[in-house]
Structures are given as structure tokens and as C-alpha cells.
Amino acid sequence: MEINSDDLKTFITVIDSGTLSAASVHLGQTTSGVSRALSRLEDKLATSLLTRTTRRMELTEEGQLFLERARAILGAMEEAEETIRIRRQKPAGRLCVDAASPFMLHCVVPHMAEFRALYPEIRLELSSNDQITDLIEHRTDIAIRIGTLIDSTLHARPLSSSPLYVLASPDYLKQQGTPQTPEDLARHSLIGFAQYELGNHWPLRHTSGNSLPITPSIAASSGETLRQLALAGQGVVCLADFMTRGDIEAGRLVKVLEPYYTGYRQQIHAVYYRNTQLAQRISCFLEFLQQKL
């Protein structure tokens, strides 16, 4: 016999309610009916999920494992249903999206014509900021952030990840030579971040570890400014694939020190407050963007 979603809902409701009688109220069934349904589920699995006495119930080890899987399955089903509902409806209203300027320019703006054609009733407002600000204060619905998120009251949804490359222009390498080891970078002009120390730790294997701290010869607060400096032949830079892929494919920037890459990837998250009135707009935008990424 196959397990269905009703089996999962019954099991989860029993656990969340604490007793069979309380679960029966939530499910609109009799207590004996809930008990029989739980027994049928255990028969299907050929294992005990709960130890039941007259006073309390406790999950078995198998029950704890099954509970985690059951919650995940039902959550995925609910998300799938919401996605279909969104496709059948027409989300409308203002949606303010904030992202750091490089991500906005390279990953959001190029796809907005298609998004607007799909959802013409949504009024988009795009802004750029490199910090997680108070979303309510800045009237922001979604903030897209690159890198590790700090603990936050915001809901976070992973969208994608992007590798980091160490790059330089062909002209720079022709004039200054190509570094052969991470230690060679000490003799080069390095382009790094101002006021963002984590950005000046490059994911390169070297004699002291897998993260190479660099001291920039020239620094800027924006990744897009760093990219333009590298294109202008001002030095070696470490930037994400999402903003340099076109430059690499066109030969405007060249990867260096590839044998020393650690495989590190920057995480890309969307953060937002849970708000049922905005749910449709947020969900359709994030689903669309995740497909593009």
C-alpha cells in the first residue's frame, strides 16, 4: 500500500496536537478514526512511529526521522500548489526589489522586459544597496544579497550560487606578466574592496591555507567599479562569475591562477518579511529570477 498526503497530514497533526483527541478535533474525525489511520500508516511502513500510553505519546527514532521527511514533503506540495495558483492569477501592485548594483545590472535588469510582459500588473521599483537595511523603513519588499547572511528576522530563500574568479585584462598581463602562484600576487597591482574586508580574502590555496588575504593597491566600494578598473588594465581582481562571465567569454578579462582555485561559491539569497498580501508578487518574482539564474 502506498502512503498518501492524508497519511502524512494525520501523522503531523497528531504530533503537533499532542494527543489523539486534540488531533481528531483539528482533522474533523473521531479519536478512534485517527488512531486507526495512524495504525494503518505504521502498517504501511512496517515500523512503529509512536510509543503510546494512556498519558502520553513519544516519537520513536524512526518516527522522528519520518516526521522530518513528512514535513518536508508537505511543504514542497504546498509550495507547488502556490506556484500553480500564481500562474493562474494575475499578481498586481507595487514590488520594490533591492540588490547590490553589480547583481542588479547583470542579473536583474537584462530580464525585466520578459518579467514585465509576464506580469504587466506589477509595478516594479528597483534600487541598489550593498547592506541589508530595514526593509520596512526603506519600503523594500525583496532584498537580494550576495555572500553569507547574518542572523536575521527576515525570511531567506536561496536563489543560486556563483564561483569567484581571479582575473586581469590581457593588456595588464602583457605589460606586467601573468602570476604563476598566489605568492606572485605580492608583486602585482591588486584591485580590492573598500569597507568590505571579506571581499579582500581571495579563495586561493596557498602555503598558509585556502583563503589569501590581499592588500589592495586600489580599492572601491562597488564590485562594478572594481570590474571597470580591471577592464581598464589597472590590476588583478577577484570577482563573481555572474558579473564577469561575458567579459571572460569575450576575452576582455582572463582567468589567472586557476590551479589554485578552492571551488568556493558565493551564495545568493533573497530576503523578505512574510506578508500574505505581498506573497503573490514576491513568489512570482523569485520563481522567475531563480529560473534565470
| pTM of structure | 0.64
Query: Where do we find the cell 606586467?
Result: 176
191 and 242 together in one domain: yes
The predicted pLDDT at position 189 comes to 97
Cβ neighbours, 10 Å, residue 207 = 8
Domain hosting residue 223, numbered range: 163-264
The predicted pLDDT at position 2 comes to 81
pLDDT digits (tens, 9 = 90+) for 193-211: 998 888 899 999 998 889 9
271 and 205 together in one domain: no
pLDDT digits (tens, 9 = 90+) for 145-180: 887 776 566 678 889 999 999 999 999 999 999 999
177 and 250 together in one domain: yes
- Minimal CA–CA distance to 143: which of 124, 130, 160? 130
62 and 120 together in one domain: no
196 and 254 together in one domain: yes
The predicted pLDDT at position 177 comes to 96
**Structural domain count, the chain:** 3
Q: Is the pLDDT of residue 283 over 80?
A: yes
pLDDT band at 255 (very low <50, low <70, confident <90, very high): very high
Q: Is the pLDDT of residue 136 over 60?
A: no
Q: Is the pLDDT of residue 292 over 90?
A: no
Of 41, 61, 88, which one is at a domain's C-terminal end? 88
We report the CATH number of the domain holding residue 143 as: 3.40.190.10
Higher pLDDT, 27 or 201: 201
Taking CA 148 as the corner, what is the angle to CA 256 and CA 98, rounded to the nearest 5 degrees? 95
The predicted pLDDT at position 17 comes to 81
Of 71, 88, 105, which one is at a domain's C-terminal end? 88
The span from the CA of 64 to the CA of 48, in Å, is 11
pLDDT band at 263 (very low <50, low <70, confident <90, very high): very high
203 and 218 together in one domain: yes
Q: Is the pLDDT of residue 129 over 80?
A: no
**Average pLDDT over all residues of the chain:** 87
Q: Is the pLDDT of residue 276 over 90?
A: no
3-state secondary structure 105-171: HHHHHHHHHHHHHHCCCEEEEEECCCCCCCCCCCCCCEEEEECCCCCCCCEEEEEEEEEEEEEECHH
What proportion of the chain, given as a percentage, has pLDDT over 90? Answer: 41
Cross-strand pairs, 20: none
168 and 141 together in one domain: no
Q: Is the pLDDT of residue 275 over 60?
A: no
The span from the CA of 260 to the CA of 224, in Å, is 24
Strands 155-168 and 254-255: antiparallel
58 and 187 together in one domain: no
Of 62, 88, 114, which one is at a domain's C-terminal end? 88
Amino acid present at 270: A
Using CA atoms, how far residue 211 sits from 132, 163, 204, 266, 267, in Å, is 25, 14, 6, 14, 17
153 and 183 together in one domain: no
115 and 205 together in one domain: no
42 and 182 together in one domain: no
214 and 225 together in one domain: yes
Residues 116-126 have a mean pLDDT of 91
The predicted pLDDT at position 168 comes to 97
pLDDT band at 85 (very low <50, low <70, confident <90, very high): low
